[in-house]
Each structure stands twice: as structure tokens, then as C-alpha cells.
Structure 1
Amino acid sequence: MNEQIICSGCGIPVQTKDSDKPGYAPKAALERDVIVCQRCYRLTHYNEVPDVPLTDKDFDKLLDDVSKSDAVVVMIVDLFDVEGSWMMKRKDLNHLPLVIVGNKFDLLPHSVNENKIKLWLKKEAMKRGYKPEKIDLMSANKKADVMRIAALIDQVRNGKDVYIIGSANVGKSTFINQIIRAFDGDEDQLITTSIYPGTTLAFIDLPLDDGSKMYDTPGIINPNQMYRSIPQKEMKLLQPKREIKPIVFQLKEEQTLFIGSLARFDFVSGEANHFVCYFPEKFTPHRTKLSQADDLYARHKGETILSPPSKEALEEVPPLKAETFTIAHDKTDIVIPGLGWVTVGHKGAVVTVHAPENIKVTLREAII
């Protein structure tokens, strides 16, 4: 291979010498019209994801390139996993125009007010030091939404290049693929997408009609995402397939809610309170007495009433760690990034949350 060949799926240079290193493809693959690395081929055809590490050093280099450019930055945020969407390690990009787009809006209950969600998202972004010029919402699976966001980006960029950034699995590549389709792009050039986080390994550039380019960047896997806690074959359970239906419980103190075998909410003390659950459809909350919770978990974890995940998958899940919160404000969300959240109706409740030990449980102003 004298000339450098780029994988059309993930953007990484293709090599044929070492099957254990990123970009490997068998020599026969180079005869195809569209060349993809072995990893992207397996991902697309078999939903297999060989581990290819993108180190912090690699990601710092990529963000450094963005920081030095004269471009517009578009950050995609997963509205179902906002806390897991923020990039934990990042260069200061505030000198560049920033557009924040909340994706998967269609997963939120249809009764939510779009403008309130935009305002809420702006407040959350500013808490973290971001200074967005524009904020909008979309579902990357809907062509009309993507076209509207594309028009917004075109208005802001004013002829500049565009970098699409965000944590893994927020929908960056899905968004760009919709743009390719909408503008009669080559279907063979669609970017690798899947339920698995971290499927883009390098910048993938797409030419725009004025000579500038749009770049899809690798999604860094946030260590605070639930995706880091469960086996790959169980990851699809974390992604809602349809609009989330809130499940409401009127709890008294010393009652417990289990969310499968991945999380537990103990209402330790306080006046009777509303607990509203927002989780993927495969997770049905199970209520029990706090005094019986430990025994129930020991006997039934991974079984029907406390699943998913399966018993086999639970062997790879970090042990649950307990953290106690006193709810200081009405309508507060207790968030387990990548899994969902519970909205506590009234202040004063003392709640102990059990979640995998690598997950940082957080409180926030209710999104809904």
C-alpha cells in the first residue's frame, strides 16, 4: 500500500499488516469499490465490536486540531442521557462559535414543552462553562428535523468548516448520514453507526458545496456512562426504542424501587412523595419494602422481577455502591447517566441510591 487509504466507515487509515491494530483490513478488501476496515465490517454486518482504544492522548490531539481551526463547533447532546453527553475532558473551544443540539427529542413524552427543554438545556450547558450561540432540538432519525438543524448550522457557519462533536452514542454519525442522504450523497459513503459507543475512530470529512467541510469526530466514551458498566450484548437495553412513558409511584418512607438489577432507590425518610420514573421500556420499576430489599436483591437479581440484565451479564457489572441524598428542591431529578432518572416531587425526602460503583449519580432541576 503506497497511498494512504481511509476507511469510509470510521475514518481511520487502513493497514493490512497487523489485525490487532486499528484500521486493519485483509488485502482482499482493498479490491472493493468501498473500502472499510475489518472492525467496521464486523460492526455493520454482525454487530460485533472489536476493542480499539482511542486514548486520552489521541482524543486531546483531535480536539487540539479543532481548537486551532477557524470553524463552527456543533455539539450533539443525548436528551435521554444529558449527564453522560458532556465531554469530561476537553480543550477550551469557547473562542469558536458553538451550536448545541439536543438529540432524541422524540424519546421524551410528547407533552413536554420544546421551548422549556431548550431553556433547561442552555442552563445546564452554561453551568459547565459552555457558551452556545444557538440551541435547538431534533431527532436525528427524522429528515425534517435534520434539514432544519442543517439550515441553522449553515446560517451560523457563514462559509466556515463545521466540526460535529460529542460523547459516544449521542447520534453524531446518524445526523451526518441523514445529511448525506438528504443531499443525494453517495449511500456507499455512509458513516458507521450502531448501538455501541465509540464507533468513529478519526475525523471523517464531508465536502460542503462552498468548498468548506463538515467533520464527524470520534465520540469519547464518558467514564460516567452506564455503557461502561455492562457487557456489549446488553447495551441495546439501555437505548429506548420509543417515547418514554413516565411511571408514577406514590411512596411512603421505607419503601424501595428497583430498576432491574442495575439500580435501586430507597426512600429512607420524609413525607409521602411522588417518584416519577423515566427509564427504557425494558426496565419496569419494582416496588418493595426497604426492610425486604437486600434479601429480594440477593435472591432475585437477574431474574424476571429484577431484570434486565441477565444473571450472566450481572457477573460483569461492577458492584452497586450506595449514596444518600437529601432533596432540597421540589421537582428534582435523581439521574443515573445512561440508564434514566427518577423525579422526586417534593423537597425534604432522604433517598439512598444504589448504582454501579463507577457511575456518578447526580441531582438536577427536573427536565420535565
Structure 2
Amino acid sequence: MPLLRTPRFFSSPSNPSSPVVPPISLIRGGCYDENLPDLPDLPLCPGCGVHMQDSDPDLPGFFAKPSPKSSAYHASVRRTSLPVDEPQISNFLKSGQFDEEADKERPENGRDSKPLVCARCHSLRHYGRVKNNKAENLLPDFDFDRMVGPKIVSSGGSRSVVLMVVDAADFDGSFPRRIAKLLSASIEENSSAWKEGKPGNVPRVLIVVTKIDLLPGCLSPTGLEYWVRQRAHEGGAGKITGVHLVSSLRGWGVKDLLDHVQHLVGTRGSVWAVGAQNAGKSTLINAMGKCVGGKINLLTEAPVPGTTIGIVRVEGILSGQMKLFDTPGIIHPYQISTRLNAEEQTLLHLKKEMRPRTYRIKAGHSVHIAGLMRLDVEETTTDTIYLTVWASPLLPLHMGKIEGAAGMIERHFGRQLQPPIGEDRVAHLGQWLRKEFRVRGNSWEVSSVDIAAPGLGWFAVGLKGEAVLGAWTYEGVDLVLRNSLIPSRAKIFEVAGFTVSEIVSVADSAIGKSKQKKRSKRDGLSVEDSSDRSKPLRVLPRMFSFGRCSERGKGRNEGFISDEGEQALKILPFGFAQKSDVS
């Protein structure tokens, strides 16, 4: 029986009875033993690889049948020429041209040739989210070692080319260590067999670093490739056939990758795209399809973990009998992003080129990245060191003294420091633990080492001397010490306290309202009176200027005078202004 079946449409009324829904364990297309009896006889969704069914909307793979269209739905429109001498018709319309060929190219059967996808793919493509979480929770766990691994490292059959897809902005979080070790063992074993004249399929491994458009443009491609090879070897990758730096969004390096793949795979080989969730496998394959041109079925891509459900064979990119497969993403439990909900994950998502945020601090101080990671500078042989944060710009930062850092969890986690979003979410992420790092550097000008948290970002440390650093995060998150990926730092340094961000501003506003309600209740004022007298005014820290607030205060530091008469504003904690009567 073939690994994957060609998708068919549910819109045909020839078979009114719906096929039997397969067991949940077999819902992932191609992720099962082909020798099992009663394999599912349902079409595969070309977007995610799930077996489609139209029986139960609360089960994975649900597909709603399209409503039947009449024969006149796509009927040609009768075109009539516009009278040239008609004065009421503008010259713009008179000079326009009708597309007479559009109706001729439309299929005669009244149905578009665009392949149909499951409801989940439709929701991800058009809304960027999964609407039915009940069906999502029923999906069985994806076991790469059992479902995909044996197909790639098989000693017989056609040649295998493995595209190990890694996220440039989260290399240690997205690098598939288990796959790398599996492939290295297979290469060593099959190479020995091949040398002895026995059948031996030696997989060719290409490391494809995606999303390089998120890295700063000052980074050298040669230096980046050397860094990638070094980290890949440390992660378990033995023999690497090549490294490709690509941007699927901008099309950088995709053509060179495609040419290299076609050269390696031979006439009947198989190409497998593997990697962690959200590493960019489906987006990469779609970019390869656009590079080739022609007509292909685009895979579903969205910033949602686990977009691809089953093994999808992609047609139209490789010529001849070459086969290209997209595989489900692997879950790395040591990534901190796997513990966050959908709303929290959006704050970690990078959309633009990363920008550095640098602190110049002394021993005895610490820096928080949201409520997810903290780095303490405990001991140094120098007066100061440079800490540069590389993470999503939506994540708020905080710098303060170590002795006050312990109380940050209770006072600010889930509020000013998000994610986690909400105080009740802090306990769900696990226990807050410390890991010690002893680092050294030989230059003030560049960063020497990184301390990275998979799925979040990293601290780049620049110093000329030695230091003892304490890194704090949740239990199970694998903190990594490595050579610095991006040596440069920001030219303007951050200051103590919270960084300017919308999250901090909204949290401060809520705290200000809560304090005002308590104060009004204590003074015996009603909520209506207190809300009229005191309205929190959102003012971003370090951006409030006394001299520009009003004409009366222009050029003098005498505060802001409102337009309501005899009222003035006094500055409250957290960057707020409160109205108060002037006696």
C-alpha cells in the first residue's frame, strides 16, 4: 500500500455515505505501520497531512462539504462595448479593457481547481489560529523515532537527503539533537556496510538555517556558517554534507538549496524536511515551490506549534521520480515556549530584524527577561560588564539589585513582567531554579559568550576578565553556554528599572487604579467621586517632559496645568499622573 494517497474532493455527490472515521491513533497521515490491517481509506489534507472526515466536527481532520453550485454560477458575463460618444461616461472607463480570457480559462465543471483542505488548515490560513481546541487536544503524540526515523535511516531503498531545518533566532531550541544523533549513527553504520559491499543507504544531511532575515545585517555569512557547524557538531551531528543559510520570506538562498538538493538526491531519491515545531519547514517548502514556479499545493503555514500533523508528500517541486516529504514538527520539552499558551507565545514571536538591548552593570545587579529568565552578576574581576539581551522586542526587561530580585516574582511576574500573563499562570510554569556559569572574555568591544534559553532568546556577555553569573529560569528549561552568535551590542545603554513597553504601561495603569480605589474607600469617597477626581494618565517612563505639557508650564519645571481650571497634576509611582485640587 502506498505511503500517502492522493487527496480527493468531498464535494462529489456520487457517494452519499461518509467513510468510517479511523481511530485517533491513525489520524496522522503516513505516521503508522503500513503493514497494519484496516488502514484508513480517507483522503489526506494537502495542507497538513491529516486524514479528512466529514462526520464529526469535534474530531481531527473535519471538513465541511462545500455547498453545491448551479451550472450558471461561473457562467460567462455578456460583455457590451461602451459608447464612445456618451458624455456621462468618464474617459477612464472608455479607455478600460475587459479581460475576455478570464472566462475561457475557468474550468467547465464549475469547480475551482484549488485543492480543498481541512477546517483546521482553513482556520490557520485565514485567521492564524485553531478554532476548535477540542479536536486539537485529541491529536496523538508525534513519535519521530517510530513514525519517521525508520523510513529515513533504512539501509535499503532509494537514497535519502535530510533537510535538518533550524531557526536562526532560536538555534539551540530548534536544533533536533535526537535526529542528529540518529542520523550520525546511521551514517556510520551504513558507510561501513557500503565499504564491505553490502547494501547501505548513507543519508546526506543538509543543515538549513531559516529566518536569517531576523538576524542583524552586520553578521558575516562566513562567520555564521562556521558558528552553525560548530554548534551542530556539539549537538550530535557527525558528517554534514552542507550548510545553507536561507530566508523563506525573502527568498534568500532558496535557489542554491534547491539546486544542491536535486544534485544529491539522484533520480529516484527521497528528501525529508525534519525539525522542531515552528522551525519553518512548511514555509521553506512553499518557498522552494515558488522558486520552481508552476502549479503546486501550498502547505499550511502559521505561527502556531504543530501546524503539520501528518507526513505530506509534496508534488511539483522535484522533477522525475524524486520525492519530497514534509514531516510534523518535533516537540522539545526543554524549550520554554512549549509551556506557554497561545496568547503568551505571540509575545515571543519575532517578525522583524532583532535589535540589541544592552546594559552596563556592576556586580550585585540582575536583569530580567519578562517573567521567564533572570541573570545575576554575582562576582567579577572587573568593575562592570556588558549584558546584551537578544529576544522579542515585545518582552519587557528589568534591571535592579540582586537583593530585590527575589521579591520580583510575587510583585511583578504576570503583571509588568509578562509572559506569564496573569499571576495565576506563574505557578503553572514550574519551579524557579538557578544555574551557575563561570565565564571569561578578552575584549570590551564585543560579546564573548552567550547564555541562551531555548525558545526565548539569550544574554550576550561582554567583558575583559572573569565573572560568576547566576541564571534563573523554570525547572526543565535547558540553559546553554556557547560562543557568542552576534558579537555586537547596542550603542545606547538601557537604564535601571523597567524598559518602556506597552505591557509595563498597562500593568502600571491597573495598579494605579487599584491603589486609587483603596485610597478612596479609606477616605470615604464613592467610586463615582473618586473616578471623577482621579483618572490615571498613562505616561511612558523617561518620556515625560514638564516643559512641554502646557502653555502655562512652557519652559519652566512647574508641572502640568490642565485645561479644567484650578487643578494640577502630581506625578505618582509607576509613571502616572493624578489630578488634585489646588488650594
**Fold shared by both chains (TM-score > 0.5):** yes
List per-residue Cα deviations over 1:310-345 (Å, max 9, x = no partner): 326834433432222222566111000111001112
CA contact (8 A) 1:172 1:216 kept: yes
Q: Is residue 2:360 matched to residue 1:274?
A: no
| Residue deviations 1:225-269 (CA, integer Å, cap 9, x gap) | 122121112212212111111122112111010111111111111
2:60 and 2:178 map into 1 onto residues whose CA distance is 22
**8 Å contact from structure 1 (residues 195, 235) kept in 2:** no
Partner of 2:454: 337
1:57-80 CA deviation, whole Å, 9 max, x = no partner?
Answer: 465222211222522111111111
- Mapped contact 1:29–1:35 kept (Cα < 8 A): no
Q: Which residue of 2 aligns with 1:205?
A: 313
**How do 1:303-342 residues align onto structure 2 when only pairs under 5 Å count?**
303-304=415-416, 306-311=417-422, 314-315=425-426, 316-328=428-440, 331-342=448-459
Helix, strand or coil at the partner of 2:244 = strand
Tell me the SS of whatever aligns to 1:280: coil
> 2:162 aligns to what SS in structure 1?
strand
SS at match of 2:473: strand
Pairing 1:11–2:49 present: yes
Aligned mates of 2:277, 2:138 — CA distance in 1: 14
Within-5 A mapping of 1:291-306: 291-304=403-416, 306=417
| SS state at 1:122 partner | helix
Cα distance in 2 for residues equivalent to 1:170 and 1:98 = 17
Instruction: Show the counterpart of 1:85.
Output: 174
Cα distance between partner residues in 2 of 1:181 and 1:325: 45
Q: Which residue of 2 aligns with 1:73?
A: 162
Structure 1, residues 115-165: CA drift from partner, whole Å, max 9, x if none?
011011011111223121111211111124322321222233233221111
For 2:491, the equivalent position in structure 1 comes to none
Structure 1 distance, partners of 2:67, 2:467, is 60
Q: Separation in 1 of the partners of 2:436 and 2:399? A: 19
Please state whether the residue corresponding to 1:196 is helix, strand or coil.
coil
Structure 1 position 170 matched with structure 2 position 279 = yes
Which among 231, 237, 254 is matched to residue 124 of structure 1?
Answer: 231
Q: CA deviation at 1:301?
A: 2.0
State whether structure 2 residue 336 is matched by structure 1 residue 226: yes
Identify which of 262, 270, 290 aligns with 1:154.
262
TM-score of the superposed pair, with normalisation by structure 2: 0.59
Residue in structure 2 matched with residue 63 of structure 1 by the alignment: 149
Deviation of the 1:176 alpha carbon: 0.8
Corresponding position of 1:103: 210
Change (3 A) 1:366 1:352: same
Please list the CA deviations of residues 87-107 of structure 1 after superposition, one character each: whole Å capped at 9, or x if unmatched: 243333533011111111111
Which protein has greater RCO, CA pairs closer than 8 Å, 6+ apart? 1
Query: Which amino acid is the alignment partner of residue 25 of structure 1?
Result: F
Alignment RMSD:
2.5
Tell me by how many angstroms 1:41 deviates: 2.7
Pair 1:137-2:234 in alignment: no
SS at match of 2:429: coil
Which protein is bigger by CA-based radius of gyration? 2
| Structure 2 residue identity aligned to 1:288 | G
With over 3 angstroms needed to count, the CA separation of the structure-2 counterparts of 1:337 and 1:250, relative to structure 1, is same
TM-score by length of 1: 0.91
Equivalent residue for 1:43?
124
State the distance in 1 between where 2:346 and 2:409 align: 23
Cα shift at 1:51: 3.0
Which of 455, 476, 483 matches 1:365? 483
1:190 is displaced (CA, Å) by 1.2
Cα 1:141–1:296 shift into 2, 3 Å: same
**Counterparts of 1:100 and 1:89, CA distance in 2:** 14
What SS does the aligned partner of 1:165 have? strand
Deviation at 1:22, TM superposition (A): 3.4
The Cα shift of 1:54 comes to: 4.5
SS of residue paired to 2:360:
strand
Question: Does the CA-based 8 Å contact 1:229-1:318 persist in structure 2?
Answer: no
- Percentage of identical aligned residues: 28
Q: Distance in 1 between matches of 2:140 and 2:220?
A: 38
Are residue 251 (structure 1) and residue 361 (structure 2) matched?
Answer: yes
Q: Distance in 2 between matches of 1:143 and 1:326?
A: 40
Worse-superposed segment, 264-273 or 320-329: 320-329
Count matched residues.
366
Q: Secondary structure at the match of 1:364?
A: strand
SS in 1 for 2:407: helix
CA distance in 2, matches of 1:141, 1:13: 29
CA–CA distance in structure 1, aligned partners of residues 312 and 216 of structure 2: 34
* Gap regions ≥5 residues in structure 2: 1-17, 20-40, 69-110, 131-135, 188-201, 443-447, 487-583
Rounded Cα–Cα distance in structure 1 between residues aligned with 2:347 and 2:389: 16
Does the 8 Å contact 1:229/1:358 carry over to 2? no
State the alpha-carbon separation in 2 of the partners of residues 295 and 277 from structure 1.
Answer: 22
Task: Quote the Cα distance in structure 2 between the aligned partners of 1:195 and 1:312.
Answer: 25
* One-letter amino acid of the counterpart of residue 361, structure 1: L
Deviation at 1:166, TM superposition (A): 0.9
1:223–1:308 distance in 2 versus 1, CA, 3 Å: closer
